[in-house]
Structures are given as structure tokens and as C-alpha cells.
Amino acid sequence: MTIKTTGTTRRGALKTLAGGAAAATSLPFWARYAQAQTSEPIRIGFQMHRTGIGAAYGRWYGRTTEAATRLINEAGGINGRPVEIVIEDDGTDPKRGAEVVEKFATQLKCDIGYGTLFSHVVAGSAPRAGELKLPYFIVSEGHQLASGGLNRYTIQPGITDVKSQVQAMAPFVAANLGKKVTMIYPDYAFGHDHRDFFSEAIAAQGGEVVAKLAIPPTETSFTKYFPKIPRETEVIYHVMVGPAVLTFVKELGEFFGPSRPEMFGFIDSLEAVDIASPGLEFLEGSYFWEGMPRYAQPDQTSFDKFYREQVGVDANGASVADPKDVSTYAHMFACWETLYVIKAGMEAAGYQSFKDRPALIEAVEAMTDMAQSNEHPQGPKRFNGKTHQVFGQQYISQVTDGKLLVKHTTSLEDGFYPDETDYTKMPF
């Protein structure tokens, strides 16, 4: 692994994925696990949004998790033990999320919990993980963790939070698109983070949010909201989620017709949706945030190429088995990267059993810089052990000839903000 730490770990330098996998797969299967103190698998409880408004994400989070786990096991597992993914559906529901966490800890005997995306489900689940002392690796974007609202057992090492994202985006929006912004966002914690932090970030650039339209995440028609967009709006900032996103974007286009304000969307509004879908032609020339570019870019890295091949995603961001099955490419990389952080943390801690959970957390807290690699294909990262939050690059892409072409890549430093908590001071 190409992860630097702030202190000395128990196991020294870790092998890269390419070298480790190549060496391990040349061994007979039994030999890959020969040095483990136990042959019992490491059980990772995958809290999956298999149903509910997060189902599209859950499907692709699952495929990404399966691919990364396969590679980890081919390379010898973790500490010589195979990794087993234990899947439970939380229905994208906070109450069920807490029940899933409890099931992982008390019935399914999982070493850790992992995988949660939607921030309201994180908010409902993380407190129970803390009570049960179950390390809980979230793959979300909410700011509640980095703000100090959760607990030491909850960690987000694979994807940036909304505050970091919008802080990095706002200068581009103000300088290139306009300074009078109407925001359209889902009415729950994730959307509220966008509302609050983008309002602050655009104000710092001399702009202002002239209207804030909060929409229930289960809404199926949106035309009644659009007349509330003020005439002075220069930029529409949209970040919608769920199964009705295609309807949202189409109705937005029908409302404005050929003349529209500039548009800056978070790709959440089009995750798992083909940009070439009929009715989306009006998006040509508009801009999107992407956590990882859906379309293979002209300067595609070898890391992105490797990752796509392993997960089964083509150059357009769709399944190689079905071009109509569009991935949630801007988010799902975080599952891959989080699993490799878990592997690195467990190996640094010499993890063997539940009693080593605090050592695992301390090992991850000691991580800092993560170089772009096969294990971190999205880009370089910096992990903040105090806040349990990772920081990374952001991508701004423009719809060009029906595809997304990256126009600007932010730096790590663009997304930094002062610490708001220090989980390392909290007892286990």
C-alpha cells in the first residue's frame, strides 16, 4: 500500500496491490493463507442500500465491493485470512440501518461494519455502532462525522464530505457561471449540508444564494417547484437523488425550454442515468461535479483503466454486460478505496479478533497521505485522523457532445477546512 502514516506501525511498509497480487496469485490457493494464525475469514458486514431510494447506488456499491474483495483475496486476504462480505439490506432507512448494525455486531459476528451511503441512514446507524463498539466504515458524504456529531468508531476514509466538495467547487462557479444562485436539493441531512456549506462558500466568493428549494427525497414530480426560481437567478445548482432523478432533470428542461440559466449540478442528479437519454439534450454545455469522472478521459490513468476493467465498467461508465446499466461511478470508487484502507489498517494493527478493534481504529487514525494507485484510482488523498475524514480531488465536468468532459480538477488543499473535532481524544 502507498499509505504514509504519522507514526510507526506494527508491520512496516505494505506491498502495493500490483506487486502483492501478482506474487500471491502465483502461489497455490492454500499457500496464500498459510501464515494466518487462524483460517477463519475476516467478516465485513456490508450495509447495503439494496432497496429504497438508494437502490441504484447499492447495486453498484455491491459490484465494486465484490471486485475489490476478489482482488484482496487473490492477493492473500488480510493478515493471511480470506475476507468474507456479509450483506444486509437496510432499505435506505435509518431505523433499519441501526438494526442492521446491531445484527452485524450481535448475531452475524462481523469484525466491522461498512458501506453506508445515504447520510440520514448514517445518522441513524452510527450511534448504535458506537454503543456496540463496532468499527463502522461509512462510504457517505455527510459532514456530520467531521463536525464531531458521531463517534470514534465511525470512520470515512474513502470519499470526501460535502463541505470539502462545495468549498472546492464554489470558486469555479462564481468565476465562470454566475454569482446569483438558486439551489435545488433533497430535504434531508445530505441536502442540508449542500444548502448550508454552499451558501457559505459562494458568499466567500462574493456571490449569494437567492433561493433555496428543498424537495422531499421521495418526490416523483417537480414542476410545482420550478416557478419559485427567481428571475435574477444566474445559476441553478441542483443535487437531487433517488429513482426520480431522470424525471427531475427532464422536467427542469421542459420548464426552461431553449433559454435557461447556467446550470451546475452534482452528478447525483444523473447517477445511474444515461446522459444520452431523450429529453436531456438541454444539458449540453452545463456543468457537473463528479467524484470520479464517469467517462474515460483523454488522459485516462492506468489506475482508472485497471479499476474499470476489474469492476466491469466500460469507457462510457456503463456495465460492460449492458450499456443501458449505467454505473454510479462518481461515488462507488469509495467502496474500493475504503476496503483497501481497511486492509492496510488491519495489517498495520496486526488485527486478529474483536479485541483488536481499538488497534484497528488507531492504525487508521495514523494514516495521512494516500498516493493515487490501483488501490486509490480516484486520485491522491489525505486522511485526517482527528476528524476521521479523508480529503481528495474534485472534478468539474461539462456536458460536451452528450458526454462529460473534465474541465477542472481541484487540488487537495482546495477542500481543506479547520478541524471541528478530535476523535482521538475520545475513549474507546
Q: What pLDDT score was predicted for residue 26?
A: 41
Distances (CA, A) of 355 to 134, 135, 195, 339: 11, 12, 41, 20
Q: What pLDDT score was predicted for residue 30?
A: 41
Could you tell me the sign of the dihedral formed by the alpha carbons of 21, 325, 305, 415, in that order? Answer: negative
Q: What pLDDT score was predicted for residue 243?
A: 80
C-alpha cell at 189: 441531512
Domain boundaries along the sequence of the chain: 3-160+329-392, 162-290+398-406
4: how many CB neighbours lie within 10 A of its CB? Answer: 13
Of 134, 121, 116, 44, the closest CA to residue 87 belongs to: 44
Higher pLDDT, 259 or 32: 259
- Residue-wise pLDDT tens digits, 48-105: 999 999 999 999 999 999 999 999 999 999 999 999 999 999 999 999 999 999 999 9
Which CATH superfamily does the domain covering 162-290+398-406 fall into? Response regulator (3.40.50.2300)
Q: What pLDDT score was predicted for residue 258?
A: 82
Q: What are φ and ψ of residue 373, in 5° steps?
A: -165, -175
Rounded mean pLDDT of 34-54?
87
The β-bridge partners of 184 are 213, 238
- Residue-wise pLDDT tens digits, 149-183: 999 999 999 999 999 999 999 999 999 999 999 99
Whether the pLDDT of residue 423 is over 80: the answer is: yes
Which CATH superfamily does the domain covering 3-160+329-392 fall into? Response regulator (3.40.50.2300)
Q: What pLDDT score was predicted for residue 17?
A: 33
Task: Name the 3-class secondary structure at 54.
Answer: coil
Give the number of residues written for the chain.
428
Helix H or strand E encompassing 370: strand 367-370
- Judge whether 3-160+329-392 and 162-290+398-406 match in fold: yes
Contact 252, 356 (CB under 8 A): no
The β-bridge partners of 136 are 113, 154
Q: 277: buried, middle or exposed (CB in 10 Å: 19+, 13-18, 0-12)?
A: middle
